[in-house]
Amino acid sequence: MDCRSVCCNRCQGLGEARCSDHHGMQRLGESRGGQTGNFRRHGNENLVIRKLDLSDTKSIRAFAEIINKEEKQVNILINNAGIMMCPYSKTADGFEMQLGVNHLGHFLLTYLLLDLIKRSAPSRIVVVASVAHTWTGLRLDDINSERNYDTMKAYGQSKLANVLFARSLAKRLQGTGVSVFSLHPVEGAQTTIYCAVEPGLESQSGGYFSDCATARCSRAASNDESAQKLWEISCNLLGITWDLSSLTELLLRRGLQSCCLPKTKLNNRNQSQWIKKEFQKIAMATAIGFAIMGFIGFFVKLIHIPINNIIVGG
d(CA 211, CA 221): 18
User: Is 132 in contact with 155 (CB distance < 8 Å)?
Assistant: yes
> For residue 178, what are the β-bridge partners?
123
Residue among 111, 149, 155, 208 flagged as catalytic:
155
User: For 21, what's the count of Cα atoms within 13 Å in the CB-facing half-sphere?
Assistant: 18
**185 upstream amide cis, omega within 30 of 0:** no
d(CA 283, CA 217): 41
Query: What sign does the CA torsion over 232, 238, 240, 245 have?
Result: negative
- Strand 76-79: give its sheet, edge to edge: 47-51, 25-31, 3-8, 76-79, 123-128, 178-184, 208-210, 213-214
CA angle 159, 162, 166 (to 5 degrees): 155
Say whether 155 is catalytic. yes
DSSP 90-140: B-TTS-BHHHIIIIIIHHHHHHHHHHHHHHT-SEEEEEE--GGGGG----G
Query: What sign does the CA torsion over 55, 61, 64, 69 have?
Result: negative
Catalytic residue set: 155
